[in-house]
Amino acid sequence: MALLLFLFLATTLTISQGSDQETIPHKVHLLRPQSGAGGDHVPGLSCLSWRLGVETNNVVGWITVPEECEDYVGHYMLGHQYRKDSRVVANQAILYAQSLSLARDGKDVWLFDIDETALSNLPYFAQHGFGVEPYNPTLFKKWVMEGQAPALPESLTLYKKLLSLGTKVVFLTGRPEDQRTVTVNNLRKAGYHTWEKLILKGSSYSGKKALVYKSSERKKLEESGYRIIGNMGDQWSDLLGTNVGNRTFKLPDPMYYIS
């Protein structure tokens, strides 16, 4: 029995990427048991349809994942489909980036959000649950301060391709300014070794929505002469508002909603 449990834990996060096997290196925890575990449909609610509504920005303003969908969301995030969906987004971004003719003046930039975009917090959510419990800022900050978040491999692949094409990268995150050092170290440890700017949320944006903060910072970038040729994030608040760039790319994230 112990051997079977070990094998299950060891393989839960082994994700197929083409013909290669790639593992996001972190501890794996069994999902907390719920009725309808792992199913696409539970009585009265299709979790698959709920996730589609989230990703298309038709389901908005939600606080937590529906309780009956926790296992569905957990299995989606820890399984093959999340990585496949992320790969489709990244591949489209690469095709778009390759089609561009850059000015070669150092002003073409690509924006990346950090959490669930450049870096993955799956180790945290696998331990604490997939969005059914209200957001716990104390526990999440503790995780962030450990600086152990792995890269989302598809985003890292895009990042490397952009650098090879001569595009500069700007990270624009909702993390607060007092997390700059740990964020810098975590990004570098995960494989993001260079960037043009790392923008964190300063105290002047306290209490303001992410959409307002990110729109304002993108406007500042463009006013200083940068051209935002691409913009990738996991939340619609990363991609809506003003000065969003020439093209946006939405990564999947049915775990939480940021307005």
**Mean pLDDT across 218-225:** 98
Percent of the chain with pLDDT over 70: 83
Q: pLDDT tens digit string along 161-203?
A: 999 999 999 999 999 999 999 999 999 999 999 999 999 999 9
Is the pLDDT score of 58 beyond 60?
yes
> If DSSP codes are grouped into helix, strand and coil, which group holds residue 130?
coil
In a domain, residue 43? The reply is: no
Is the pLDDT score of 6 beyond 90?
no
**pLDDT given for residue 44 in this prediction:** 57
In a domain, residue 28? The reply is: no
In a domain, residue 102? The reply is: yes
In a domain, residue 212? The reply is: yes
Q: How many domains does the chain have?
A: 1
In a domain, residue 168? The reply is: yes
pTM: 0.86
Q: pLDDT tens digit string along 73-105?
A: 999 999 999 999 999 999 999 999 999 999 989
- Average pLDDT for the chain: 87
Tell me the residue range of the domain where 125 lies. 79-250
Distance of CA 248 to the CA centre of its chain: 14
In a domain, residue 32? The reply is: no
Give the pLDDT band (50/70/90) at residue 107.
Answer: very high
In a domain, residue 105? The reply is: yes
In a domain, residue 233? The reply is: yes
Cα-based distances in Å from 228 to 98, 213, 254 = 15, 16, 26
| CA–CA distance, 74 with 130 (Å, rounded to integer) | 6
Q: In this structure, what CATH number is given to the domain that contains residue 100?
A: 3.40.50.1000
Is the pLDDT score of 34 beyond 60?
no
